[in-house]
Every structure is written in structure tokens, then in C-alpha cells.
Chains A and B, each alone.
Chain A
Amino acid sequence: MAYAEVAMTDTDETQTAVDASKLPIYVDCVTKQYLGGAFTAIDNVTCAMEENQITAIIGPSGCGKTTLLRQIAGLEYPSYGRILRDGEVIHGPGPDRGMVFQTYTAFPWLTTLQNAEYAMKINGVPAAERRERAMEHLRLVHLDGFKDYYPNSLSGGMRQRVAIARALGQDPRVLLMDEPFGALDAQVRWEMEELTVEIEERTRKTIILVTHDIQQAIYVADRIIFLTRNPGRIKADMKLEFKEGRRFLKKEELITHPGYAETEAQLYGMMREEIEKIRGGE
């Protein structure tokens, strides 16, 4: 099998060479329960995310992807276990972890440029410097020509790019994205996927991308964590070996790459297994 059944145990290198608890993100035996313990959304999940790596979290709807990501962001707390950021326990949200939401969260009362500057402004970056860096980020997301527009006069894809530029402004160690392109149509989504790869190539951040979309996960990510539903556990933690450590700036280049079709089929198979399990259980 190309993927391990249990996280972090397949490759010797993760066990011996790297101390996982010192990585940018280390999810340490996290369980998240709701309804006073009656419902377990995340069940004893352990995993770590490395620098300069895009990790996609996929799984059937309701498996706890958002729950896991929000705990990393510090917007919710684990019931058991803990999450470390570079060895420090996370006790709440902070500018070291930027987040892009599925809904449009660009501040409607600020222009594109003011949005891109916002995180720097509240964190005390001097005006001249933040203007310069904001413009740099707007160029990266191809919005420099729209710097004086308000979000209400931008398209959905453009608003999401404002949100990405704004998150880059806080220069986060980790960039969290919860189905950031879910509300966009296929062509815009495709552009945004390529943009995400480009951003990673330029900034080398730790990116965690939650998605429903198998093709998106394979194209954007370097590694895929597959969660099962009810309870949410790691079904598979696969490094996308067939990419040979490369990232592709154009999606069609990857799709024709040998090994792509097999990986896709494998992930669809896993998704099918989960769906059938849910049906059987209900």
C-alpha cells in the first residue's frame, strides 16, 4: 500500500530524525467532544505538519475537518490532548496562524488595500512598510489593479484573494484554509488552486488545506490526511510520492503525470468505503 494505515508510523525518518513535537504544528492525542461528551467529533488524532509543506485534510462531510482546523487556529479547544505550535501549547488564536474561511470574510468597509494592510496595522507595523508589503501581497494574488475597490464590487474569487492577501499580511507561520474555494465556480477554483501552489512556492509556509475535493487535494497538496467519520480518526496519511517532491504550477501538467490516475482512484476508493460505512451504520 502506498499509504500507511496509521499516521506517522510508516516512514522511519519521522520516527527517528524529527522530533514531531518541535514541528510547526503538532496535534498531540486530540479528542474533541460535543454535547457534553455524548458526541465525539475527533477521536484521539495525532499528526504533525512540516514547514514548506501543503497538507490537505479530506474526508466525508461531517468527519471533523473543520473541527480539527479550528482547534489549530485556537478558535476552539480540544477536550483531551493538546496542540503545539513550534513546541508551544496553543491557548487561543494568534497572528502566527492565519486563517482563510469558506465564507467571504474580507472586511466590506475596507478597500482591497486596507484589507491587505489590516493584520499589519493591528500588529503595529509602520505605515510605509505595511503599504509596501500589502502591495506585494496584492501583486501575488493579482489584485494590485483593484486596490481601491470595496469587496462588494469584487467577484467571489477576488474577495477570497483579498482574504488570502490579508492573511499573508500577518506573515503567519501556518496558513489554515477551510474549504476556501468551496463557494467558487470551477474555473475560478482552478485558478485559485494554482495560486495556492504559487504562494507556497514563494513563501514556503506550512499550509493546511481542508477540502472535499479529491482532485484539488492531489493537485495542491504535498501530503493528504484522510479522516474517517464518526468518530473522526485518521484513516490514511499519504505522502504524494508520485509527485517526486515537485509542485506543478499548472494543473494539467499534474493530471498527465504518471501515477496521478492511480492516486485519484485510490482516494475515490477510500471515500467510497467511508460513504458505504456511513450508509451501513444508519
Chain B
Amino acid sequence: MSDTVVSGPALAGREVRHEDGPRGAPFTPPKQGFLALKSHYSRKTLGTLALLGALSLFLAWEIGAHSVPEAKEKFFPAVEQVLAALFQLFAEKEFIYDVGMSCLRIYLAYIVAMSVALPLAIGMGSFENLRATLNPTLSALRYLPAASFIPLLLVWFGPTDTSKVLLLFLGVVWFLVAGMLADVRSVSHELVESALTMGARRKTVVFNVILPAAGPQLMTSARDLTAVAWTYLVIAEVIGAQSGIGAVMMRAGRFLNVDVIIAGILTIGILGVLTDTVFRLGHRMLFPWAR
């Protein structure tokens, strides 16, 4: 029986042959509880869990809505009532136009904010002198609440789209600058130095080394601040707007149409998640090299 593998000191110095020996029985790993540390689950499991989490929120909502006394039901509509209101908004109230207006304002403001923040961050992150000159002032601006500019904007521009876009812009731009500056400054110094020892000139270092090196982080910073932009959107539209999701919600409030208000909140939530997903996909496409 030279094929059989036995363990123990009897084998010392002898050739151990595995390939012809008996196979081991399938190994059963120990059962893991729900809160197992360092576990790897399949995408399917993770997706199911995410769905369960979302469903339990709606379930709690539904239970809550059905447990309020009948007289107060109007103030706490159930899921199906809100969905019905949402459907009605799109079908009869041309809600798609309001959603479009809101998106237009927010993305326009965001693009303007980015086109101000990105050059500032790259300039200040690359050149110490620029940072020393500008950053203390820009940091101070961050502490001025954007909402405090509302009266000023109303005096200057009235309840126009200009004042709304400017409010959104003011709400995100200084935070974008701060986040993006940190990203640019975290680019490893050795990357820059190795480019210099290869004969790279200043322009090449900035646009060909610092910018791509910071790229993935810059995009993540930009993504994180979209949530803040949505906050200011609602504030901007609640004060004197004829169109937009916020305006629709405000009008509904006057008639105590709580189902419409919640439908508006739901819409903003969905749009936020969609924006986030677009950023995520863009990140993966633009930076395939970043893990």
C-alpha cells in the first residue's frame, strides 16, 4: 500500500505521494452568523440585503401610517397614497417639467461651481505661493452660511433663476475648493519629483502628473458634495419659485397635501441616488486603473 498517505513521524524522510492517494472529504466550514467579521458575500447576497434594508424602511412607514388615528390620516399618508400622488403629479400636473427645472438649476450651478473650484484647487495645490495668497480668504468664505446670502440675492436678482443658481453655487463652491485642494495636496511628492528628474516642465507636471494622480479623489469629492447641492436646491425653490420640485412641495403645503410633499421628498431621494450612480459609473470608466 505505497499509495496510501499516512501522517506522522513514520513518513519522515520518505516521499509523500498525494496524487494517487485517497481524496479528502469535502470540507464544511463552520456556520457563520449574520454578524460574521471579515466575510465575503456574493453580489447577489449583498444586493438582496440592500433590497431588504430598503423594504424594511417602507414597511415601517406603512405600519406607522396605518397606526395613526383616522382623523389624522391625512397628515401621515401610507406608501400607496404617496405613490398615487406621485403618479398623479406626473400624469396630470406636468411634474416632469418641475423635475426638469430642478435638475437644470442644480446641474448648471454644479458645473459652474466645479469650473471655479477645480482650477483653484489645482493651482493652490501645485503652487505654495498661490495657496498662501488665496486659501486663508477662501477658507473664511466657507464659514459664511450660504443661506445668509438669500436676502442679498433676492434684492439683487429678485426671485429669478439667477438667484437660485447663485445660491446653489455659493452653497457648494467653497466646500468643493477645500475638498479638492486636499485631494491635490495628497498627491505623492515622489510622483512629482520623479517627473522632474525625467525632465518634465512645470506645465507637464501640473496637467500630466498632478491632475491624473488626483483624478479619482477629485471625482469622489465632487460626488460627495452633490448631496449638499440638493439641500440648497430645496431652500432655493421654497422661497419664491413658480417651478421646480421645491415649489410644488411648498404649494402642496399650503393645501395640507402631505402626500404630495412626501412624493416630492421621494423624488429628490431617487434623483440623488441616480446622480450618485452616474458618478460611480463615470468613475469606473474614467479611472479604470484606480482600484
Contact = CB atoms under 8 A, between A and B. Distances in A.
Interface of A: 73-75, 92-95, 97-99, 101, 103, 105, 107-110, 118-119, 122-123, 150-152, 163, 166-167, 169-170, 176
A98 B213 contact: no
Contacts of A167: 197-198
B209 A75 contact: no
B199 A119 contact: yes
B243 to A, nearest CB: 42
A108 B217 CA distance: 13
Given A108-B213, A109-B212, A109-B213, A99 B194 contact: yes
Contacts of B130: none
Interface string B165-195: 0000000000000000000000010110111
Given A109-B212, A122-B208, A95 B198 contact: yes
Nearest to A70: B193
B291 A152 contact: yes
Contacts of B204: 122
Contacts of A101: 190, 193-194
Nearest to A110: B289
A122 B198 contact: yes
B289 A93 contact: no
Most interface-central of B193, B199, B215, B287 (chain A CB within 10 A): B199
A75 B290 contact: no
B200 interface: yes
Contact of B196 (A75, A107, A118, A163): A75
B199 A109 contact: no
Nearest to B200: A122
Contacts of A73: 193, 197
A105 B191 CA distance: 5
B194 A108 contact: no
B3 to A, nearest CB: 35
A217 B197 CA distance: 24
A97 B191 contact: no
Given A107-B213, A108-B213, A150-B289, A170 B194 contact: no
A94 B200 CA distance: 8
23 contacts: A73-B197, A92-B196, A93-B196, A93-B199, A99-B197, A101-B193, A101-B194, A105-B188, A105-B190, A107-B212, A108-B290, A109-B213, A109-B290, A122-B198, A122-B208, A123-B199, A150-B288, A150-B289, A152-B289, A163-B194, A166-B194, A166-B198, A167-B197
Contacts of B201: 122
A264 to B, nearest CB: 31
A150 B212 CA distance: 14
Contacts of B199: 93-95, 119, 122-123, 170
Contacts of B287: 109
A74 B212 CA distance: 25
Nearest to B291: A152
Contacts of A98: 197-198
A25 to B, nearest CB: 14
Nearest to A104: B190
A151 B194 CA distance: 16
